[in-house]
Amino acid sequence: MNGDNYKSIPNKLANDDYMTTESLDTSILKNLCREREGFINVDPLQTGGKLYPESKVALQNWGDGYSVCDFCGGRLDQIKNPPIYDFVYCILPKFLEVDIARVTNGAREGIDTVMHSMCSPGDTVVIDKNAHYTTYVALERNHLNVQEVLNSGYPEFKIDPEKYIEAIEEVKKNTGKLPTLTLLTYPDGAYGNLVDAKRVAEISHQYGIPFLVNAAYGIGRMPISVRELGCDFIVGSGHKSMSACGPVGVLGLKKEYEGKILRRSKFYKVKEVELLGCTARGASLITLMASFPYVAERVKNWPEEVKKARWFSGEIENLGLKQLGEKPHNHDLMFVESAKFFEISQTHPKRGYFLHSDLKERGIVGIKPGLTKNFKMSTFMLKEDDLKKVVNAFKEILSKYGV
């Protein structure tokens, strides 16, 4: 067996009495290596999803299928050992400052659950133009129509909360009915812009429309309070922003929607229909719990994270790159426009892949291979020294090619 490329899989499996490996086709193991250890990783998808030491141990201990079900009495969220019940019914609602919380399989599953329970096919949902693709796919899956609140366009792509009024009125005019849900992406996953969600909540509620906040890039990075935002539903992503292996997410809702969102099966009285009985049921959930103490603490450091992001934005602008989205920036996720790197790619033998490989040589990963004209990156949880290294790497690369 050749597992050479995958450092953690020993050449001979330890579990000899389970099965001998000689007869197995192990070719797939060659492709299971992952090189990230020791690199500075600026991938926005990954900066908030790194496991803490305790969650790495938890991943090992709970990796077997259905491991959390040892002591299940019929409802996953009510399992006392491991303490899932405490997490779902006490810790999570307190953290989100929300009446009721549930664990989902991800932010998109939470969005889908809310749309599926709150809307009927043919209804219209008002969303921000910066919404994530999963919002659109969830709309399609639920046979819903969309009315977008447009952004301000280049270079800041801001969403004006007041425009939700126009959008709602437009739906009313065109369909004779009000939208059945409003949604805001907070922050959005393209530019990292933060819209005044409180104002969107006010507007929605003036029309009697329930309001969903997609905080996939919010919950676990920055302090988020449902009470403060005034929304009716919120979703978060465990693997995006809460240092869980995933797939896992969180859903928060106001008590008044409990009957709709968490309705029970008529066949299996304890099972919640929208959650298909049980959601995350294994290591994904346990890593979310194991990382939680760190996550709850790190959100208090958010002002420092914003300061770092702004510093970084300023530094790269000094090099002639441009940070799109809100300025000053209020989030670690940023969209970088880099005409100079694009210019280099036009004559470089590696074309657009030169940037990825030049950065990798300097110990930096996380910018999508092939991209030069613009790319997304994140400064979250990165040390100042490491961010300085990233700035210097950009500087070096630019001067190496003389642009």
Ligand X SMILES: *Cc1c(COP(=O)(O)O)cnc(C)c1O
Chain residues that interact with ligand X, rule: CB under 6 A: 106-108, 132, 134, 185, 188-189, 214, 216-217, 237, 240, 249
Question: Considering only CA atoms, which of 366, 244, 250 is closest in space to residue 295?
Answer: 244
Specify the pairing of strand 145-149 against strand 124-128: parallel
d(CA 38, CA 35): 9
- Give me the residues paired with residue 63 across strands: none
Q: Which residues are CB-contacts of 207 (< 8 A; sequence separation ≥ 6)? A: 168, 178
d(CA 43, CA 126): 30
Nearer to ligand X, 221 or 340 (CB): 221
Nearer to ligand X, 151 or 345 (CB): 151
Nearer to ligand X, 79 or 107 (CB): 107
Q: Give all strands of the β-sheet with 374-378 in edge-to-edge order.
A: 322-324, 333-337, 374-378
Nearer to ligand X, 220 or 230 (CB): 220
Question: How many C-beta atoms surround the C-beta of residue 352 within 10 A?
Answer: 18
**Residue 384 is which amino acid?**
E
Chain centroid, CA 307 distance in Å: 21
- Give me the residues paired with residue 229 across strands: none
Q: What angle in degrees, to the nearest 10, is found between the helix axes of 197-206 and 163-175?
A: 30
137-145 contact pairs (CB < 8 A, 24+): 137/108, 138/108, 138/111, 138/112, 139/115, 141/112, 142/112, 142/115, 142/116, 144/115, 144/119, 145/175
d(CA 91, CA 80): 13
d(CA 368, CA 107): 22
Q: How would you class 181 by CB atoms within 10 Å of its CB: exposed for 0-12, middle for 13-18, buried for 19 or more?
A: buried
Phi, psi of 10, deg, nearest 5: -65, 155
Q: What angle in degrees, to the nearest 10, is found between the helix axes of 283-298 and 53-61?
A: 170
Minimum gap (Å) between residue 268 Cβ and ligand X: 26
Q: No. of H helices and E strands in the chain?
A: 15, 12
Minimum gap (Å) between residue 174 Cβ and ligand X: 27
d(CA 328, CA 306): 10
